[in-house]
Amino acid sequence: MKWKSNNVKASDNRYPVLLLSCVLLPMHISAAEKEVSASAPEVVEFNEQFLFNAGNGRQINVDRFTKGNPVLPGVYNVNVYINDRQEYNGEILFKDNGSEIATPCITHKLLMQLKLENNENTETSVEPADETACYDPATLFPGAQLRFDSAEQRLDITLPQIYASRMPRDYIDPSLWDSGINAAMFSWDINAYSAKSNGDTSQSLYAGLNSGFNLGAWQFRSRGAAHWSNEESGDYDHQELFVQRDIPVIKSQWVVGDTYTSGDTFDSISLRGMRLYSDDRMKPASTTGYAPVIRGVANSNAKVTIRQNDNIIYENTVPPGPFAITDLNPTGYGTDLDVTVEESDGSRTHFSVPFSSVTQLLRPGDARWEFGIGQLNEDSSGGDTRVITATGYYGLNNIFTGYSGFEFTDTDYYAGLAGIAMNTSIGAFAFDVTHSHAEFDSEGTFEGQSYRLTYSKLLELTDTSLNVAAYRFSTQNYYSLRDAAQLQETIREPDNDNNESPMQSFEHEKNEIQININQPLRINEEDFGSVYLTGSWQNYWNSSKTTSQYSLGYSHSLGWASYNISVQRAYNEWGEEDDRAYVSLSLPLDRLLGHERSQGGFNMLNTSASTDFKGNNQTDMSISGNSADNRYSYSVNTSLSQSDTDDLQQIGGYATYNSPWGPFSGSVSVNNDNGQQYSLGNSGGVVLHSGGLTLTPGNLGVNSTIALVQAKGAKGTKMSNGEGQIDNNGYAVIPWLSPYHENSIGLNIDTLENDIEIENTSSTAIPRDGAVILVNFATDEGQSVLLELNRSDKGFIPLGADVYDHKNNLVGSVGQAGRAWVRGINQSGTLSVRWGRAANEQCAVNYQIPSQPQTIAKSILLQNQQCHINH
């Protein structure tokens, strides 16, 4: 049996949804809230002096509301709260139990989504064999209570603390991860460019192409690029081909084909072979990244509050006894954590936990690892070097994380790394040592070491953020895997024009320093902007060359405007100096002109100027805006380039249309040297599935996670997130979902083109990485009809009376003034209107829809319909 209720369907909002709207004044409890557990609902009494129809003076019959607001059987979109904390949003079936208030069906799947199915304290086992079976929380968890608020569509489940989930607050059971459907995908980025200058014409066409298909949990992917120009013949560069699937039991991804190692331990390399690695996305977001475990002891039901930089980042109530907070999410690299434990009697205890972080740090007990085997897939290596690589990290405790790794090739190269990362009160450190062994043809054996030190700290006294400071020193005989493979290739195929030995001329890194500092400027709580400094410096063995670059900048907002000033200096490997200064200003025109940005039009002015202190100067100005619906964005720009020999003035424009089938862009510009430039671009794609071919609102990338939305008959309906739109076949695509996490998928029925009823407008999807999941929104394409009913005995048809067709299917309900809104009925027939169980609480109406009926919006209007009372 299909359960549904017209009360809860989302329909075309251009005509009123006729639901209960009379003012009910209960004497004891609110009729908007009612118990839906096994216990009987409390009886509600109404003051009948207020309950009458102003039109005919008759009393309104509210008998069906005396035991709470009726909940019809059907599927409702509900927010579920466990002990006042939201745990679920989605559809729940409410089943008929013989009373006016239907009972929510708590299935095994829903128990998993609520994190309640694996509780050792439950007194009744939960068997997943029958996914349609309904469980009574009051039986599973003695003392549990359910309360449904129909006005808020909120279901509250109150549990004793012993039964509450001990999982992280955003934990999702792996059994809920959706592998999706079998589908094929193809997407593209296309850009056509033409420029004319000094009589020369340059034309080019580029297409970045991604393709693939899914079979069950297996995903096959390919990536490449095609390029053509009037100066070179066209060619296609194949870049990646691989098959991938996840392995949930070990929270990892397995890739066979072209892949890249992570690069957080050794340098990242391109590998053609097999790679198996842990995937942090499979963990709750609140447990990824580094954070210390906060431990303490509560003497009562105590409130634990954790602050960072005087901001509350965590607050919860814990029962008496020891507690451990493992799902903390500090902000950025951060500062120390201030913990307050407030007891029920008002007493408080405080303590501080040091916190700084570098990328190597993990939470206590957490692990990160990677293993790869295959062929080094880099042009400089010759392409025949076989490689094995493995790395691993493990959080030992709040302070220390240990990590190590090794690399091995079939060309007599190997390297081993050991390191330790630590969180201390003076900052976070990571230190590691790598030892390499390399044997080169005719050159002998070389062994060396590389030492790396990383530091991070936010200095609370001055609020100075030293985000990353890294130093690496490598001995002369140390070679990375890439350096060793490249040198081996050079030795085997030497450059005959170079008289030097390959070992003497090969340059590899000796020292490297990186630094990144940010300093906010605040005086007496007043913001004066911020200053930042970044820099890097490298030198090499077998060479006196050094490369370095430094950047110093200041940014601030003054009123509505924001500006940035920066100076840069760089030295290339030959010691040549390049200095630049840059200043920019952004001014929001919408605020200056006093109108809302949502109204559309030009809304931002950007200007900038730069110089290289050698007579070359550049000045740019642009004004940009967008349409009210953000479908169109556009800008007009002008620039002036000045040099010792010439001045070049240019004016141009750029526009983008964000269509349901991908963004289209175009640009044009001209200059005072008779130069011209044009370009056209598009990003899009298609998904081939059992229901047909569906265009996508943009490039899918090489491994996008996709929702294929189905809403039959809902042509024109836009997605509430993204630019997707239901097409003629009833499908739309939403790319770039977050794998292994809840994604809200919604429909915006304001753009609905047809007269249909969408039974729910939001859903929750939990996809696996790279999956194409089908999200189905049930629709009713039957014609909607508005009937003006008159009782044959001149009586009053109560608000909320149900309307049934000749097959006893619920097709609508009665609203104010006896108007009934129904859907999906035949051209003619008999409808039954019921507001009670007695014979005189029902009437029947015979109707006939004319060939050219009167309509309101898209609904048919039938006036003066006699409803014959049953006697």
> Cα(308)–Cα(580) distance, rounded to whole angstroms?
38
293-353: which CATH topology? Answer: Immunoglobulin-like (2.60.40)
Residue 706 vs residues 1, 501, 606, 663: alpha-carbon distances, Å:
31, 54, 36, 18
- Each residue of 642-685: pLDDT tens digit? 887 778 888 999 999 988 888 999 999 998 888 899 999 999 99
pLDDT band at 819 (very low <50, low <70, confident <90, very high): very high
Domain ranges for the chain: 6-167, 293-353, 784-869
Picking from 124-133, 312-321, 364-373, 560-569, which range would have the lowest pLDDT averaged per residue? 124-133
Q: Which helix (H) or strand (E) holds 536?
A: strand 526-541
- To the nearest 10°, the Cα dihedral for 133, 138, 139, 142? 150
Comparing CA positions, the residue from 229, 186, 233 lying closest to residue 208 is 186
Fold match, 293-353 / 784-869: yes
Residue 117 DSSP label: S
- Each residue of 394-410: pLDDT tens digit? 999 989 999 999 999 99
> Cα(741)–Cα(178) distance, rounded to whole angstroms?
10
Select the more confidently predicted residue: 30 or 183: 183
Comparing CA positions, the residue from 639, 663, 667 lying closest to residue 655 is 667
Integer Rg of the chain from CA:
34
> Cα(703)–Cα(222) distance, rounded to whole angstroms?
9
pLDDT at site 10: 37
739 has pLDDT over 90: yes
465 has pLDDT over 80: no
- Each residue of 91-122: pLDDT tens digit? 888 888 877 778 889 888 888 888 776 555 55
The answer to whether 745 and 722 have CB atoms below 8 angstroms apart is no
- Each residue of 615-651: pLDDT tens digit? 888 899 999 988 888 889 999 999 888 887 778 888 9
> Cα(735)–Cα(699) distance, rounded to whole angstroms?
8
Comparing CA positions, the residue from 358, 287, 288 lying closest to residue 324 is 287
Residue 424 DSSP label: E
Mean pLDDT throughout 242-263?
94
3-state DSSP helix/strand/coil percent for the chain, to nearest 5? Answer: 10, 55, 40
> Cα(425)–Cα(356) distance, rounded to whole angstroms?
8
> Cα(631)–Cα(663) distance, rounded to whole angstroms?
9
53 has pLDDT over 80: no
Can you read off the two tokens belonging to residue 410? 């079939």
The answer to whether 862 and 838 have CB atoms below 8 angstroms apart is no
Can you read off the two tokens belonging to residue 103? 């009972």
304 has pLDDT over 70: yes
Can you read off the two tokens belonging to residue 310? 């005087």
> Cα(59)–Cα(50) distance, rounded to whole angstroms?
9
- Mean of the per-residue pLDDT values of the chain: 82
pLDDT band at 310 (very low <50, low <70, confident <90, very high): confident
CA 831 to chain centre: 47
pLDDT at site 46: 53
- The 3-state secondary structure of 306-326 reads EEECCEEEEEEEECCEEEEEC
Burial class (CB in 10 A: 0-12, 13-18, 19+), 476: exposed
> Cα(156)–Cα(148) distance, rounded to whole angstroms?
6
Can you read off the two tokens belonging to residue 454? 């990383």
> 6-167, superfamily in CATH?
PapC, N-terminal domain (3.10.20.410)
Percent of the chain with pLDDT over 70: 86
> Cα(641)–Cα(615) distance, rounded to whole angstroms?
10
89, amino acid identity: N
> Cα(615)–Cα(642) distance, rounded to whole angstroms?
7
Which residues share a beta bridge with 436? 415, 448
Which residue in the block uniquely carries the two structure tokens 């490298």? 538
Comparing CA positions, the residue from 107, 112, 115, 110 lying closest to residue 134 is 107
Total residue length of the chain: 871
Strand, coil or helix: what is 137? helix
pLDDT band at 166 (very low <50, low <70, confident <90, very high): low
The answer to whether 24 and 31 have CB atoms below 8 angstroms apart is yes
Picking from 262-271, 644-653, 755-764, which range would have the lowest pLDDT averaged per residue? 755-764
Own/partner pairs, 177-180, CB within 8 angstroms, 24+ separation? 177/248, 177/740, 177/766, 177/767, 177/768, 178/765, 178/766, 178/767, 178/768, 178/771, 178/773, 179/216, 179/217, 179/768, 179/771, 180/214, 180/706, 180/767, 180/768, 180/771, 180/772, 180/773, 180/774
Which sign, positive or negative, has the C-alpha torsion 476, 478, 480, 483?
positive
Residue 163 DSSP label: G
> Cα(851)–Cα(124) distance, rounded to whole angstroms?
59
Task: Phi first, then psi: give them for residue 725, nearest 5 degrees.
Answer: -150, 135
pLDDT at site 12: 38
pLDDT at site 11: 38
Which residues have CB under 8 Å from 665's CB, separation 6+? Answer: 654, 655, 656, 657, 679, 680, 681, 682
Mean pLDDT throughout 182-192?
94
The answer to whether 810 and 803 have CB atoms below 8 angstroms apart is yes
Residue 132 DSSP label: T
Residue 592 DSSP label: H
CA 79 to chain centre: 20
Can you read off the two tokens belonging to residue 205? 């066409």
534 has pLDDT over 80: yes
pLDDT at site 36: 44
- The 3-state secondary structure of 12-69 reads CCCCCCCCCCCCCCECCCCCCEEECCCCCCCCCCECHHHCECCCCCCECCCHHHECEC
Picking from 14-18, 82-86, 226-230, 606-610, which range would have the lowest pLDDT averaged per residue? 14-18
78, amino acid identity: V
Domain 784-869: state its class.
mainly beta
